[in-house]
């Protein structure tokens, strides 16, 4: 599962990627600085992990991670192959969620590919290219499905109805994620086609330093423009965040953030938002050797969660011993939780909750 950073060229995508990841991407003041995607594995900041560390005092602590890809900028005509567009769109298709960076800062020294700062126009430019690509996908598929539908194939007829909804929606300038489908329709016919505009999206407004806490007029316009998209908007001073990342100590970073009126780095917020966008959450294992956060899809069962540690854990799953995170903190240790009778034993059907502290029993 990975989230891709998408937007026009030269809007700060690689600068943002560098704030999140240790894998340094090249960033410079000219369009198409990035060609090949940069992949980074990013630690997910989680205060609960720090709390568990102080309670358990383990030899090591391992946070959850999420994969972020920095992708080349798209320009008008990308869907027709402009500016290596097809390759870049292919890179976007391989992601599971989109972080759409919009330039919301003025700076005459930083080139804008379309000559002026206008995040609404920029967003439309990107949306249109993604939608045109999806239109190509749906039209190809429709050709085949229509023929099958004509022969009386009931399944193909249902599929045709779903695909026509996509086509009509895209032609009206709507992204697939905003079109209404029944659950079955989406699962059977829409999901397998991996439409780019069906991926969940988070808008990242890249603002100047003084707007980091409050946003600015550009941000307000963006919020208005996306209010029916069911998408989150995050305000981030990417250039400033890059400076914060350079600071060595926690105290220095804290002082910088205080000056900006922020309670934590925007990059931390963004990582958590990306994690959520990918529909992921966390369970913990907490032993003296290692306290660790594990990543699972929301809705995963106990055996599936065990499988993230090792496939044998899933195959030979017997039961899980589960402590709610809050109980672990209230009682302070596993043994005290047990004494209080707060540890639960769960079977194969158990849906793991965010923050569960777990032990798996299995045989191989």
Ligand X SMILES: Nc1nc2c(ncn2[C@@H]2O[C@H](COP(=O)(O)OP(=O)(O)OP(=O)(O)O)[C@@H](O)[C@H]2O)c(=O)[nH]1
Out of 18, 21, 34, 137, point to the residue binding Mg ion (CB under 5 A). Answer: 34
29 lines the binding site for ligand X (CB under 6 A):
yes
340 interacts with, out of ligand X, Mg ion, none, CB within 5 to 8 A per kind: none
Closest contact distance (angstroms) between CB of 67 and Mg ion is 17
Closest contact distance (angstroms) between CB of 277 and ligand X is 19
Cα–Cα dist 301/273, whole Å: 23
Out of 14, 240, 282, 301, point to the residue binding Mg ion (CB under 5 A). Answer: 14
Could you count the other beta carbons within 10 Å of the beta carbon of residue 341? 7
Nearer to ligand X, 105 or 284 (CB): 105
Nearer to ligand X, 173 or 261 (CB): 261
Out of 3, 4, 6, 15, point to the residue binding ligand X (CB under 6 A). Answer: 15
214 lines the binding site for ligand X (CB under 6 A):
no
28 interacts with, out of ligand X, Mg ion, none, CB within 5 to 8 A per kind: ligand X
Sheet architecture: strand order including 290-297: 60-62, 290-297, 280-286, 357-362, 317-323, 344-346
* Contact code string over 50-89 relative to ligand X, x by CB under 6 A: ----------------------xx----------------
Out of 3, 4, 6, 14, point to the residue binding ligand X (CB under 6 A). Answer: 14
Nearer to Mg ion, 34 or 131 (CB): 34
Return contacts of 136-144, CB within 8 angstroms, 24+ apart. Answer: 136/79, 137/193, 137/195, 138/163, 138/166, 138/167, 138/170, 138/193, 138/195, 139/167, 141/193, 142/167
Residue 199, CA distances (Å) to 72, 129, 178, 256, 284 in order: 18, 15, 10, 35, 28
Does residue 92 contact residue 130 with C-beta atoms inside 8 Å? yes
Q: Which residues bind ligand X (CB under 6 A)?
A: 7, 9-15, 27-29, 31-34, 72-73, 105, 107, 110, 206, 237-239
Q: Which residues bind Mg ion (CB under 5 A)?
A: 13-14, 33-34
């Amino acid at each position: 599962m990975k989230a891709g950073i998408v937007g026009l060229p030269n809007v700060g995508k690689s600068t943002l990627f560098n704030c999140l990841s240790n894998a340094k991407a090249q960033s410079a003041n000219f369009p198409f600085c990035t060609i090949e995607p940069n992949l980074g594995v990013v630690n997910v900041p989680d205060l609960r992990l720090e709390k568990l560390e102080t309670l358990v005092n383990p030899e090591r602590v391992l946070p959850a991670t999420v994969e972020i890809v920095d992708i080349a900028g798209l320009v008008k005509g990308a869907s027709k192959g402009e500016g290596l567009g097809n390759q870049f769109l292919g890179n976007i298709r391989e992601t599971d969620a989109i972080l759409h960076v919009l330039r919301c800062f003025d700076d005459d020294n930083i080139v804008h590919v379309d000559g002026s700062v206008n995040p609404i126009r920029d967003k439309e430019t990107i949306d249109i290219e993604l939608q045109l690509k999806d239109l190509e996908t749906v039209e190809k598929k429709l050709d085949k499905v229509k023929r099958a539908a004509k022969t009386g194939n009931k399944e193909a007829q249902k599929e045709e109805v779903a695909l026509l909804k996509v086509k009509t929606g895209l032609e009206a300038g709507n992204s697939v994620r905003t079109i209404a489908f029944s659950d079955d329709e989406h699962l059977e016919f829409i999901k397998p086609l991996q439409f780019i505009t069906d991926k969940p999206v988070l808008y990242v407004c890249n603002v100047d330093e003084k707007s980091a806490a409050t946003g600015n007029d550009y941000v307000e316009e963006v919020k208005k423009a996306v209010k029916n998209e069911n998408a989150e908007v995050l305000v981030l001073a990417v250039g400033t965040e890059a400076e914060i990342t350079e600071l060595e100590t926690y105290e220095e970073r804290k002082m910088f953030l205080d000056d900006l009126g922020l309670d934590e780095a925007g990059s931390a917020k963004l990582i958590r938002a990306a994690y959520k966008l990918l529909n992921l959450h966390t369970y913990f294992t907490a032993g003296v050797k290692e306290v660790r956060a594990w990543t699972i899809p929301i809705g995963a069962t106990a055996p599936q969660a065990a499988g993230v540690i090792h496939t044998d854990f899933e195959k030979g799953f017997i039961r899980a011993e589960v402590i709610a995170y809050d109980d672990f903190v209230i009682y302070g240790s596993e043994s005290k939780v047990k004494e209080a009778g707060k540890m639960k034993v769960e079977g194969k059907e158990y849906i793991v909750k965010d923050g569960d502290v777990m032990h798996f029993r299995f045989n191989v």
